[in-house]
Amino acid sequence: MYAAPDRRAFLIQTAALALGAAGGATLAPRTAGAVESFARTRPSLLKLSLAAYSFREYLQAKKGSNEPAPMSLLDFIDYCADLRLDGTELTSYYFPNPIPEGYFARIKRRTHLLGLAVSGTAVGNTFTLPPGPERQKQIDSVKQWVDHAAAFGAPCIRIFSGSIPKGHTLEEAMTWAVECIEEACAYAGIKGVFLALENHGGISIPAANLLAILERVRSPWFGVNLDTGNFGTKDPYAEMRRVAPYAVNVQVKTEIRPEGGKRQEADLEKVIGILREAKYSGYVALEYEAAEDPKTAVPKAIEALRAAIAGA
């Protein structure tokens, strides 16, 4: 399934083009010891999911309130079933703290009886740190969530890179991120869980940087979490097209914001077309962040995505 022979040449060419276009803080990839690519040859198979982050205002109790959150993670799972989705993305932020004994088993039972799969989970982390206790704490947290993901059946964890620490360089931050990702991936691979780096600010944007990190990491359990709303460049769709072949998970937003422009409605048909062209197979999770209440907006967005997938 792996090892497209022209992957490195493609990444170098793509990164060079992006470097010339971006003009910002970017770093070209190295060619030695890269993570293998996904040499997908079969037709694209897309499955719909919904990120719990879409209901963040309902899944968290109000600050200073003694009242519980309006919605629990188990309620969210039921909601995904009501929308006739294939999967449910269970963001780590909304799990009970501490996590009760048997909670992961409840998730597995609930999703199975509802005909749902857990498409993935997502954590917050910073990997652009020099060696030391704080960096190890970040790595250990991701490893803990690898254990959790394996326990409740999530095949993939969305991770972040982090930003350049004050007083340091992009090269240093990139090197530290790669070291952290490799250590975390070595553990994740034992558990059969992918780690997926999101294009989420910091050193993971523009696409050239994301590809540079991908090129350096030595693990077949590493890929991209393609977030369609996070490329704030002049042509976000071109950025999506560059990284789509390396996606192991996709989060779709209903809006994009090109560089120098206002937020605008995303062309979901174009997004799905990009995924089809890349022969991406896997989950497409709606991650809703627009202004309208998710209770009214999410069902409409899901139907729009469903229509785009059916028509592509």
Over residues 62-73, the pLDDT tens digits come to 887 888 999 999
Residue 18 in this model has a pLDDT that exceeds 60: no
Instruction: With respect to residue 31, please indicate whether it lies within any of the assigned structural domains.
Output: no
pLDDT in tens, 36-53: 568 899 999 999 999 999
Instruction: With respect to residue 253, please indicate whether it lies within any of the assigned structural domains.
Output: yes
Q: Please tell me whether residue 79 adopts helix, strand or coil conformation.
A: helix
Lowest mean pLDDT among 1-15, 91-105, 109-123, 178-192: 1-15
Q: Which residues pair with 118 in a beta bridge?
A: 88
Instruction: With respect to residue 5, please indicate whether it lies within any of the assigned structural domains.
Output: no
Q: What six digits make up the tokens of 308? A: 């785009």
Instruction: With respect to residue 9, please indicate whether it lies within any of the assigned structural domains.
Output: no
- Tokens 């997004």 -> residue: 271
User: CB neighbours (10 Å) of residue 57?
Assistant: 13
CB hemisphere CA count around 280 (13 angstroms): 31
pLDDT in tens, 163-181: 999 999 999 999 999 999 9
CATH number at residue 92: 3.20.20.150
Instruction: With respect to residue 170, please indicate whether it lies within any of the assigned structural domains.
Output: yes
Number of structural domains (the chain) is 1
Residue numbers of the domain that contains 197: 46-311
Band of the pLDDT at 32, cuts 50, 70, 90? very low
Pick from 171, 53, 30: which is nearest to 122 by CA? 53
Instruction: With respect to residue 270, please indicate whether it lies within any of the assigned structural domains.
Output: yes
Band of the pLDDT at 266, cuts 50, 70, 90? very high
Residue 19 in this model has a pLDDT that exceeds 90: no
Residue 243 in this model has a pLDDT that exceeds 80: yes
The arithmetic mean of pLDDT across residues 254-277, rounded, is: 96
Instruction: With respect to residue 17, please indicate whether it lies within any of the assigned structural domains.
Output: no
Q: How far is CA 186 from CA 26, 144, 160, 190, 248, in A?
A: 26, 13, 17, 7, 17
How high does pLDDT run on average in the chain?
A: 90
Q: What's residue 13's pLDDT? A: 42
CB 259 within 8 A of CB 233: yes
Query: Distance from CA of residue 124 to its chain's centroid?
Result: 11
Instruction: With respect to residue 120, please indicate whether it lies within any of the assigned structural domains.
Output: yes
